[in-house]
Structure 1
Amino acid sequence: MIIEVLAIIVALGLLMFFAYRGYPVIVFAPIFTLLAAVLSGLALMPSYTEIYMTNAANYIKSFFPIFLLGAVFGKAMELNGAAASIAHSIVRALGSNRAILAVVLACAILTYGGVSLFVVAFAVYPFAAAIFREANIPKRLIPGTIALGAFTFTMDALPGTPQIQNIIPTAYFGTDAYAAPVVGTIGAIMVLAAGLYWLERARRKAAALGEGYGEGHRNEPESASAEQKFPNIWIALIPLVLVLICNYLFSRGFLTVENWYDPQMLKDTFKIDKVKTVVSSWSLIIALTIGVIAALLINVNQVKNKLAAGLTTAAAGALLAIFNTASEVGFGNVVKTLPGFKLIQGWILGASSHPLVSEALAVNVLAGVTGSASGGLSIALEVMGKQYLELAQAAGISPELLHRIASMASGGMDTLPHNGAVITLLAITGLTHRQAYKDIFAVTVIKTLTVFILAFAASIFA
């Protein structure tokens, strides 16, 4: 049995190593999947075609519209200047004396409004660099500041966030994007407060040592010209607000898509046994579509000349993201069939007698290993989601708590050095891991600790 466990550990370790070195997960996930299968004595080709590819395809079928519409929405907000307008307005309103808070809030509003994390980093960085330079705050703190605003509490903690990490659990627990709003809001406040404390402490420490913004940095953005025009802030906010409102109305409001179709017809014709498992996805697809249309109507003349190239870029980004994640999901589904996984599963489930704590551990570990919040979350819930749901129901725990803890746990250790968003963020800002990763890691630890605090608290009071 130890050999079978080592087969899984070796495959996971190699996948993480090659991802860290910049090799494409799409290529190497199936290679290491089949390596684990062979070492465990599983039939090679059936494991690839009937387990790996089938589950990867099912994931794409379920979530590709959200990946694509999210990327298109973010690109539309970038092209029409709305994302830049929001960031610029917040940064300038709070001023250089609150530079860190201003950047965090700018990222948070864009992320919570449905803009892709990568687009948020591109949109906010020029203004973050300008205000950090004006306040003489070390540039190395910018990545950690953007990570706090975009990669943490607005990604998966705040109820209703349209990011994919908050949608994935709905398919496994029959919940919606607003699951466990109190726990999610408390967690968001904890992460925000602790993250701001860390970053402000780092700023004060740097100031005491006489460290300023610095000189000779790479990828320094050009200063915005005086004649550069952005949409009015209130107009720029309209697409974000529409996404949030429509998502709520279609998921649990009086326009809920749950009532649009006859349940028996859905079951007989489309094999949908429980409408609640698809309500969140359908609601977000409609909401993002409305948001895209609204975004395209802002600054029409500015958008139309760049629209074809912008849509091509957005589609390519969405394809890469979904296929990377689907590759990891296929990997996880093959792994769960291997003999050694039963022992690993027993270790994780045995780490705590409470399903919330065990779930947080499983999601966090897998997100860290894969370097992907959505990938680790999908693997954990695909493999053990049904078991966690049964344990929670037996203990009288709401599926909404399972949803929120799983979603928040995915945004913990996922931001290890090999994470794609981290690598992209450092590339955008022109900094290295050695210069700036310390503060990104601190934010990661804060988020991880918060999840376990909430899981332990819920295990006592739930």
Structure 2
Amino acid sequence: MIMAFQIFAIVFALGLLIFLAYRGFPVIIVAPAVTLLAVLMSGGHLLPSYTEVYMTNAANYVKSFFPIFLLGAIFGKVMEMTGAAASIAHKIVGSLGSKRAMLSVVLACAILTYGGVSLFVVAFAVYPFAAAVFKEADIPKRLIPGTIALGAFTFTMDALPGTPQIQNIIPTNYFGTDTYAAPVVGIIGALIVFIGGMLWLEHRRRQAVASGEGYGEGHINEPEAVDKTKMMNFWLAILPLIVVITCNFLFSRTAISAKNWYDPATLKNSFNIVNIATLVSSWSLIVALALGILTAMLLNVKQVRTKLTASLTLAASGALLAIFNTASEVGFGNVVKTLPGFSAIQHHVFNASSNPLISEAVSVNVLSGITGSASGGLSIALEVMSKQYLHTAASMGISPELLHRIASMASGGMDTLPHNGAVITLLAITGLTHRQSYKDIFMITILKTVTVFLIAVCSSLFI
């Protein structure tokens, strides 16, 4: 009976966190309050749990990932400020035209996301062109969010090897891998999601045509017409993305890898860095993003000079909010794992399957769905269970790279439930509601979730 109540305390706290986040309460405030409620209901020690567990782990997360959050936000802002992001989106959408409206929007989002531009910036940059080409093709506006979500929130976020998005960086700290982990598995998963998502969107478009539904009228947040005469040259605009992708690869997997930059003895004696492999991906991406930012700034010095201060302030604010929201959820997860009821929950989740790939897919998916955050759910799951997954995987001959890819892809499954911040922001940008457009986002979410389990099961057959 006591154990049942302790499990209830954790489940209730998780449910309250998701409810309050959905209602728009700031996670930075809500997460510690809900954490302390769970501790209180479990009969734990409030202040030690808060200062020594919650804050310590939240701070460790900030220490590990803040440079990437910050540089990623700055890179996205500079690409937006200089007009490079808009130029890339315009070129792709314009080249494919209204006959391939959905495909052009998906590809524009995918290229920007894989190049290192944050998901939120991609949504802002692509929406004006998506609205224009959908209107020209007379495709219902309500299908735009699902189209952008497929391009920006799925295969380029966590499946394609080398993607610099945070969901592909987090597992490197736990498994000693790099961003190119399990490339074949990642590419196969990406193709399944891309093809399946496009088939669904085209099905929805054909349904609309059959019923006589067009773009529609009376929409809100309609974008202003874009001045195409002032667009930056596409090949110049794409240069910063190429710099980030190329440098990230060179610094991760070649003779000039970051693992060779410093003497191992010096790292161990002076900085207490025992395993350099856990830092190579972060260091590689930090330098790659910094070079990408400098390249982007040189593309339009005039714009940079006039807007840099305001853009850097917005980027820093966005990065701080994003990382502290995620760190708050990580702190919550680390306190929860110290509570008596968690051992029972952990036992059931970990034993959802004897195969660590399937068990990992379950735990990451569930926690990402509960927190409404791919990075938050991924961080909590790996913080709590990565060592067990590694141990079990080693005994079964499963490589850490495969654990990395499954975890990363699973984080992008059920994270896009209605309370997800990216979903809410995307709907706000497009001026649409959950009732109008969430069905397509949800179907892509289901497709992504099914794909990661399919990949996990098939991978297990060849071990």
Q: TM-score, normalised by structure 1?
A: 0.99
Q: Which residue of structure 2 aligns with residue 7 of structure 1?
A: 9
Summarize the alignment of residues 82-93 of structure 1 with structure 2, pairs less than 5 Å apart: 82-93=84-95
Q: Which residue of structure 2 aligns with residue 109 of structure 1?
A: 111
- Quote the Cα distance in structure 2 between the aligned partners of 1:300 and 1:141: 37
> Per the alignment, in what secondary structure is the counterpart of residue 417 of structure 1?
coil
- Quote the Cα distance in structure 1 between the aligned partners of 2:58 and 2:393: 27
Q: By how many angstroms is 1:260 displaced?
A: 1.0
Q: By how many angstroms is 1:225 displaced?
A: 3.1
Q: By how many angstroms is 1:211 displaced?
A: 0.5
Match status 1:68 vs 2:70: yes
> Per the alignment, in what secondary structure is the counterpart of residue 8 of structure 2?
helix
Q: 1:177/1:226 Cα in 2 relative to 1: closer, same or farther (>3 Å)?
A: closer
Give the % identical residues.
Answer: 72
Q: By how many angstroms is 1:226 displaced?
A: 5.0
Pick the aligned partner of 2:127 from 101, 125, 128.
125
Deviation string, structure 1 residues 156-211 (Cα, Å, up to 9, x no partner): 00000000000000000000000000000000000000000000000000110000
Deviation string, structure 1 residues 26-62 (Cα, Å, up to 9, x no partner): 0000001011111111110000000000000000000
Q: Which residue of structure 1 aligns with residue 139 of structure 2?
A: 137
Match status 1:214 vs 2:219: no
- Quote the Cα distance in structure 2 between the aligned partners of 1:333 and 1:61: 16
Match status 1:410 vs 2:411: yes
> Per the alignment, in what secondary structure is the counterpart of residue 238 of structure 2?
helix
Which amino acid in structure 1 is aligned with residue 317 of structure 2? A
- Quote the Cα distance in structure 2 between the aligned partners of 1:193 and 1:225: 33
> Per the alignment, in what secondary structure is the counterpart of residue 261 of structure 1?
coil
Q: Which residue of structure 1 aligns with residue 356 of structure 2?
A: 355
Which amino acid in structure 2 is aligned with residue 83 of structure 1? A
Q: Which residue of structure 1 aligns with residue 272 of structure 2?
A: 271
Pick the aligned partner of 1:169 from 168, 171, 176.
171
Summarize the alignment of residues 52-451 of structure 1 with structure 2, pairs less than 5 Å apart: 52-227=54-229, 229-451=230-452
- Quote the Cα distance in structure 2 between the aligned partners of 1:79 and 1:49: 40
Q: Which residue of structure 2 aligns with residue 26 of structure 1?
A: 28
- Quote the Cα distance in structure 2 between the aligned partners of 1:147 and 1:78: 19
Q: By how many angstroms is 1:254 displaced?
A: 1.6
- Quote the Cα distance in structure 2 between the aligned partners of 1:416 and 1:282: 32
Q: By how many angstroms is 1:461 displaced?
A: 1.1
- Quote the Cα distance in structure 1 between the aligned partners of 2:445 and 2:83: 30
- Quote the Cα distance in structure 2 between the aligned partners of 1:41 and 1:263: 45
- Quote the Cα distance in structure 1 between the aligned partners of 2:63 and 2:452: 30
- Quote the Cα distance in structure 1 between the aligned partners of 2:342 and 2:253: 38
List structure 1 segments (4+ residues) > 6 angstroms apart after TM superposition.
none
> Per the alignment, in what secondary structure is the counterpart of residue 299 of structure 2?
coil
Deviation string, structure 1 residues 61-102 (Cα, Å, up to 9, x no partner): 000000000000000000110000000000000010100000
- Quote the Cα distance in structure 2 between the aligned partners of 1:264 and 1:393: 28
Which amino acid in structure 1 is aligned with residue 349 of structure 2? I
- Quote the Cα distance in structure 2 between the aligned partners of 1:241 and 1:15: 40
- Equivalent pairs, count: 461
Pick the aligned partner of 2:46 from 33, 44, 47.
44
> Per the alignment, in what secondary structure is the counterpart of residue 193 of structure 1?
helix
> Per the alignment, in what secondary structure is the counterpart of residue 390 of structure 2?
helix
When structure 1 is superposed on structure 2, of 341-350 and 109-118 the one drifting more is 341-350
Which amino acid in structure 1 is aligned with residue 295 of structure 2? A
- Quote the Cα distance in structure 2 between the aligned partners of 1:381 and 1:225: 46
Which amino acid in structure 2 is aligned with residue 309 of structure 1? A
- Quote the Cα distance in structure 1 between the aligned partners of 2:268 and 2:393: 27
- Quote the Cα distance in structure 2 between the aligned partners of 1:365 and 1:225: 44
> Per the alignment, in what secondary structure is the counterpart of residue 219 of structure 2?
coil
- Quote the Cα distance in structure 1 between the aligned partners of 2:44 and 2:52: 12
Which amino acid in structure 1 is aligned with residue 355 of structure 2? H
Q: By how many angstroms is 1:303 displaced?
A: 2.2
Which amino acid in structure 2 is aligned with residue 289 of structure 1? A
Q: Which residue of structure 1 aligns with residue 453 of structure 2?
A: 452
Which amino acid in structure 1 is aligned with residue 165 of structure 2? Q
Q: TM-score, normalised by structure 2?
A: 0.99
- Quote the Cα distance in structure 1 between the aligned partners of 2:30 and 2:235: 46
- Quote the Cα distance in structure 1 between the aligned partners of 2:391 and 2:272: 23
Q: By how many angstroms is 1:223 displaced?
A: 1.3
- Quote the Cα distance in structure 2 between the aligned partners of 1:386 and 1:73: 33
The Cα RMSD (Å) is: 0.6
